[in-house]
Structure 1
Amino acid sequence: MSEQGTTVVLVDDHPLYREGLAGLLATAPDIDVVGQGGTGREAIDLASRLHPDVVVLDFTMPDLDGVAACREIVAAAPGTAVLMLTMSDDDDLVFRAMQAGARGYLVKTAAPTSVISAIRTVAEGGAVLSPALATRLASWFATLQREHGPLAHLTARERDVLGLMVKGRDNAGIAAYLDVSPKTVRNVASSVFAKLGVADRSGAIAAARDAGLT
């Protein structure tokens, strides 16, 4: 950050909203708006010339959308953090923005104090998502872990047995709970060990916990 505080460029194709945001940031003594633009290309040009600490970027703009602009800004000005501030909270757009290098994503309904706080956070190298988006992102990663993680190839029965192991039940307890024979539990457990690449129950439990199974 510069001596005058956090330098910010605002890019939004609605001048009224952009000026309102500039007025809001003027109330924060540690934030200095050094440039404004209304298109994706202007965002890239301003970031390349001014190297601000933060570019606050809308998604829907003439000539180049916010995700494409973000990708080019990150390449042209690696020290500049991009904070997406847009109307859409579509999951796909959020993921695309983060993949493009955005450090934060807020919807325009966010409280003014949240926007100011987000700018400060991304300027310091942190990441920002609204609580609702963060919850959905965590859920998405959990689903991805289940579908592609080490437990993805287990059958439903194998997951049941492994889950009961994690809860501390022995083979007899698992057999009683699932209403199967102890031999069946031993066979299923052996299959679980083989698929997880572990030698015993403790290894399977450790692998399950690492994968988020509790």
Structure 2
Amino acid sequence: MTVHINANPWDNGNDELERFALEECVKRQRIDHRVSTLIVSDKRCELAPKLANLGAQVLVVDHPACQQEIEGRILASGFGDQISFLASELNALPEVFPGQPFDMIIVRRGLCGLPYEEARKTVRRLLLQLRIGGKLYVSVLGLHSELGEDYAGSDERIERRFASLASPLADKYGIRHPVCLYTERNLFMLLLDAGASVLRTLTTTHGSIKGVAVRV
């Protein structure tokens, strides 16, 4: 089940993962003059226009309930010829995507709404949609962030860590389904177990976890 967050207390205009992806797009444009990108869960359609402005072709995949909002934002952005939308749940992604293979895939949110093993399979499926040398950018919720306070799964191994947040935090952020919270090492191992070559991981000042990997 995909988790939708009403407010994101960590990521803002200075999000490191977004910066890495935009820089990669610029570098690839200089060489190939064509960059195909898949964004998973860009609910407010904030990143897609930035990439399109750099010349990328972008496919946004998100929950069907977000379709009207995202398509409206695509229209308003003026990049309707470069950005398209595909309605899909993260745990039920299609075997073949329009425009694949991609140069970049960015998973902004949603993986934490899956148990670890299911998340690993999902990352593996996405990895196979990349060109060789293509990059995968992943963001997950951190175990040592505010969300980890009184989290029922705190003491479980990552393979069994799938539990509800404490009620006040579940209400605050609109995350009322069980989630798997990650440490930086957990995300590193997820990417590695999925078959990726991990380039970097980082923990933000607010405790969320980011990772960049490449298909080799």
Place the TM-score, normalised by the shorter chain, in its bin: 0.3 to 0.5
Q: Which has the higher contact order (CA 8 A, sep 6+)?
A: 2
Structure with the higher helix share, 1 or 2:
1
TM-score after normalising by structure 1: 0.33
User: Taking structure 2 as the reference length, what is the TM-score of the superposition?
Assistant: 0.33
Q: Which has the larger radius of gyration?
A: 1
Q: When you count strand as a share of all residues, which structure comes out higher?
A: 2
